[in-house]
Amino acid sequence: MNLPEERSGLLAKETRGDNSPALTVGELAGSLKRMIEGAFGQVRVRGEISGFKRHSSGHCYFSLKDEAACIDAVIWRGQANALAFRPEDGAEIIATGKMTTYAGRSKYQLVIDRIELAGEGALMALLERRRKALAADGLFDDSRKRSLPFLPRVIGVVTSPTGAVIRDILHRFEDRCPTHVIVWPVPVQGEGASAKIAAAIRGFGELDANGAIPRPDLLIVARGGGSIEDLWAFNEEDVVRAAAESPIPLISAVGHETDTTLIDHASDRRAPTPTAAAEMAVPVRAELFAFIDEFGRRTMNCLSKMADRARDRLELTVCRWPRSDSLFAPMTQRLDEVGDRLPRALASRAGDSRADLNAVAPRLRPEILTDRLKRSSEKLESLWRLAVLAHPEGPLKRGFVRVTDRSGKTLAKTADAIAARLLTLRFGDGEVEAVTGSPAAPVERKRRSSYVAPQRGLFDETET
């Protein structure tokens, strides 16, 4: 028996008729893949999600585990976007898919097409974990909640456009106070509903207040009643965060009064029903009119009472005033007395004036006035002759000359005339311009002749 020795040779040899030829690694991996996928092409596995991670590509990777084992699982992007709820660690689920292998790491994994929570207990456990996590982030704090506008001009409603909910809301608005309503249609349950609801809430908040579609003053997120599975979209984290981050005050009206979802905790106000949400959103128009009328009546009553009180105070004050006849009686009496004395006073004044006139009448003769006018005329003529003699142009007509510089300043000294150099000689009949030279010595004459008088600035010309 030399067969084992031949098989343990240095070189591998193929023997004719050998029914176990050597396989490549890829062939073996492919064979395993086909065998596993053929045997487990459709499986449903129950387990707890662990290590959940959503890759930037959109694929989801995690493990399913129980007390005995652990299986790697993957959800491709197309199926991940259509899941009924968002997976998270600790959720107990039933996953439907197929087993396959990943040759790159020599391991098998479960490719999941659909996941479901493993019973209502698992659903409630997931809901409680999610509630605690969101509460820890402060999304449910009362300090974040805002008051609702009293009379919103525009109201945005996020709901299904075909259900009875939107009809109930619009009908309630019509009964109470008609207003402008904008409906953002969304599916309210099923795959992808949560993403569209969150997008609608954020979309309303991103509208421009002055745009073609006005930005609402108030939002209502509404859905009719149903089971916890039907309302699950309003428990998803993206919907809850969108409601908490909304810049517009928000009313949640999901389900009936006994139904509670996580969006109820994040909204500014929870309504037990969609109809109740409409009642919270707007006041009753008839009640507003009645209030205005009542306010008007109260205002008129207040004004009437104020007028009555003012009238009473005026009457009390008038009663304390003195009577007009007693108030003006002394002045009236004095006026009468003055009126009685006035004729006598005028007659007395006229008599005194007449006596004064008679006393001065002898002195008011025409000769007195004539003499006075004559003396005044003579005095005026004397003053006029003096003015003529004192006029500066008078000596020029008698042969004198006035010496000035070119600016018109009269020069009375020889030094001033020499310093000015350019002179103007003013005669009685005109002016002559002259230029000064050196001063000449005075010449004695037996007879009076013309000479320059520098100290006076005048030339005196007389006959010899």
Do 155 and 110 lie in one domain? The reply is no
As a whole number, mean pLDDT of residues 308-323 equals 84
Q: Give residue 457's pLDDT.
A: 43
Evaluate whether residue 157 is within a structural domain: yes
Structure token digits, residue 289: 């009119």
Question: Please, what is the end-to-end C-alpha distance for the chain in angstroms?
Answer: 194
Q: How confident is the model at residue 19 (pLDDT cuts 50, 70, 90)?
A: low
Q: Give residue 252's pLDDT.
A: 94
Evaluate whether residue 350 is within a structural domain: no
Euclidean distance between CA atoms 49 and 160, whole angstroms = 32
Do 209 and 109 lie in one domain? The reply is no
Do 158 and 103 lie in one domain? The reply is no
Do 201 and 275 lie in one domain? The reply is yes
As a whole number, mean pLDDT of residues 27-38 equals 83
- Residue 198 class from Cβ within 10 Å (0-12 exposed, 13-18 middle, 19+ buried)? buried
Q: Give residue 458's pLDDT.
A: 40
Do 64 and 189 lie in one domain? The reply is no
For residue 428, pLDDT beyond 90: no
- Cβ neighbours around 97 below 10 Å, total: 22
Evaluate whether residue 102 is within a structural domain: yes
Question: What angle, 0 to 180 degrees and rounded to 10, lies between the N-to-C axes of helices 237-245 and 193-205?
Answer: 10
Do 85 and 176 lie in one domain? The reply is no
Do 168 and 233 lie in one domain? The reply is yes
Residue type, 299: T
Do 157 and 112 lie in one domain? The reply is no
Q: Hey, is 345 helix, strand or coil?
A: helix
Domain end marker among 286, 318, 346: 286
Q: How far is CA 422 from CA 405, 418, 428, in A?
A: 6, 8, 20
pLDDT tens column, 54-81? 888 888 999 888 888 888 889 988 888 7
Q: Give residue 12's pLDDT.
A: 65
Do 160 and 101 lie in one domain? The reply is no
Please give the distance of CA 407 from its chain centroid, rounded to a whole number. Answer: 74
Euclidean distance between CA atoms 387 and 364, whole angstroms = 34
Structure token digits, residue 307: 């007028």
Q: Give residue 197's pLDDT.
A: 95
Backbone phi, psi, residue 163, to 5°: -85, 175
Q: Give residue 460's pLDDT.
A: 42
Do 266 and 171 lie in one domain? The reply is yes
Domain end marker among 250, 271, 286: 286
CATH number, residue 75: 2.40.50.140
For residue 423, pLDDT beyond 80: yes
Do 155 and 282 lie in one domain? The reply is yes
Q: How many domains does the chain have?
A: 3
Q: Give residue 443's pLDDT.
A: 47
Do 107 and 161 lie in one domain? The reply is no
CATH number, residue 281: 3.40.50.261
pLDDT averaged over the chain?
A: 83
CB neighbour list of residue 357: distance below 8 Å, 6 or more residues apart: none
Evaluate whether residue 3 is within a structural domain: no
Q: Are 395 and 456 in contact (CB under 8 A)?
A: no
Domain end marker among 286, 305, 337: 286
pLDDT tens column, 134-174? 999 999 999 999 999 999 999 999 999 988 899 999 999 99
As a whole number, mean pLDDT of residues 287-299 equals 88
Range of the domain at 422: 394-460
As a whole number, mean pLDDT of residues 361-388 equals 82
As a whole number, mean pLDDT of residues 176-188 equals 92
Evaluate whether residue 384 is within a structural domain: no
Within 13 Å of residue 64, how many CA atoms lie on the same side as its CB?
25
